Structure 1
Amino acid sequence: MHKVRGLENTMGDITIRRLERHEVENVWQIERREIVEDVYYFADGKLQSRPEFYDTRDWPEGEPELYTPILLDCFDHGGVFLGAFHQDKLIAVGVMDARPVQDYPDLRQLPFLHVSHDWRGQKLASKLYALCLNIAKEQGAAGFYISATSTRRTVDFYMRQGGVPTAKPDRTLYELEPDDIHLIHRF
């Protein structure tokens, strides 16, 4: 197992460590439950919001089947998968792709960052984000490219971390997720 700076310490009874390849599919165990009341969208070249209500109970139908091969490909190409565990239960995951983003080759994508519903508000997302950011710096990247779900909570989180919405998304990632808000976080 590769050592990652900052992983030596646990957070109380939570341990953060790298996932092994056979654990990648466990990311779908993250409880995604959330009430959404606002979403962001781009109009006239700027970020705007509108009220939309969703009572999200689980992963969208077909998403695990669509994204598991993408995540495994990321892992097989040196991607970093950091999992937060309470006892033996995976409660949060942060993923950094080691490959350059096509239209932004100095950046690395943060394709997956989720915290189970009952564990939100404990700074797990911020900790995983910071650890992935440190790894990206160590690997010589200039920052992150993030294709984020358009919910206010998610986009606001990334902006608090330093992400800036871009009106010029990476073409490949935009085709994959045209409703996402695409952000760039340069160091």
Structure 2
Amino acid sequence: MNMIDFRRLERHEVTNVWQIERRETVHEVYHFAEGQLQLRPEFYDTRDWPEGEPELYTPILLECFDHGGVFLGAFSQDKLIAAGVVDARPVQDYPDLRQLPFLHVSHDWRGQKLASKLYALCKDAAQALGAAGFYISATSTRRTVDFYMLQGGVPTSQPDQALHELEPDDIHLIHRF
């Protein structure tokens, strides 16, 4: 088994998050309707990041970094295999919370508790920033939403307006520590 090292990313490493292999087969997704989560069958065979996503989100991630965001990475032999990000800026409609805008684990490394470890490290970073919890705008796949709920996230029927406009199909959750 390879040794995994966790450390903060430097600014020049931020774009390395797009090297994380996002491959995933999805069979079910959540929708938030009538005040509750509803699971529906939908099939996706995702092979890579959606077209245009790195171009759209790289400036957002760099701005987050430049405003004190905490970028944590998991490395195997100096290769970034997972990353988590905590935005240091308060969420507009929830100023006591900090956004968790990014948490991904490379396909071949899933199932080894890396996401849980990164989530715990991100939680520590958010608490050090004075946050009372996380605001999470999660991809609606069952695996992703179930993970965040297992960590303590609760879907909200009152999403942050700006983040909801950015990702209207996401499931918006709040995790108060």
Partner residue of 2:159?
Answer: 169
Which whole-Å CA distance do the structure 2 matches of 1:66 and 1:12 have between them? 33
1:24-173 superposed matches below 5 A: 24-173=14-163
In structure 1, list runs of 5 or more residues that go unmatched.
1-10
Q: Secondary structure at the match of 2:50?
A: coil
Percentage of pairs with the same residue: 84
Q: Secondary structure at the match of 1:60?
A: coil
Look up the equivalent residue of 1:161 and give its one-letter code.
Q
Q: Secondary structure at the match of 2:91?
A: coil
Which whole-Å CA distance do the structure 2 matches of 1:37 and 1:180 have between them? 16
1:5-24 superposed matches below 5 A: 13-24=3-14
Please say if residues 2 and 76 of structure 2, whose CA atoms lie closer than 8 Å, have aligned partners that are also in contact: no
Partner residue of 2:173?
Answer: 183
TM-score (norm 2): 0.98
Q: How many residues align?
A: 177
In structure 2, list runs of 5 or more residues that go unmatched.
none
* RMSD between superposed Cα atoms in Å: 1.0
Q: Cα deviations across residues 111-130 of structure 1 (Å, max 9, x unaligned)? A: 00000000000000000000
Q: Secondary structure at the match of 2:95?
A: coil
Cα drift, residue 139 of structure 1: 1.8
Look up the equivalent residue of 2:124 and give its one-letter code.
N
Which whole-Å CA distance do the structure 2 matches of 1:152 and 1:27 have between them? 22
Look up the equivalent residue of 1:29 and give its one-letter code.
Q
Q: Cα deviations across residues 19-77 of structure 1 (Å, max 9, x unaligned)? A: 00000000000000000000000111111110000000000000000000000000000
Cα drift, residue 137 of structure 1: 1.2
Q: Secondary structure at the match of 2:94?
A: coil
Which whole-Å CA distance do the structure 1 matches of 2:141 and 2:122 have between them? 22
Which whole-Å CA distance do the structure 2 matches of 1:17 and 1:183 have between them? 26
Look up the equivalent residue of 1:94 and give its one-letter code.
G
Please say if residues 8 and 73 of structure 2, whose CA atoms lie closer than 8 Å, have aligned partners that are also in contact: yes
Please say if residues 86 and 122 of structure 2, whose CA atoms lie closer than 8 Å, have aligned partners that are also in contact: yes
Please say if residues 18 and 54 of structure 2, whose CA atoms lie closer than 8 Å, have aligned partners that are also in contact: yes
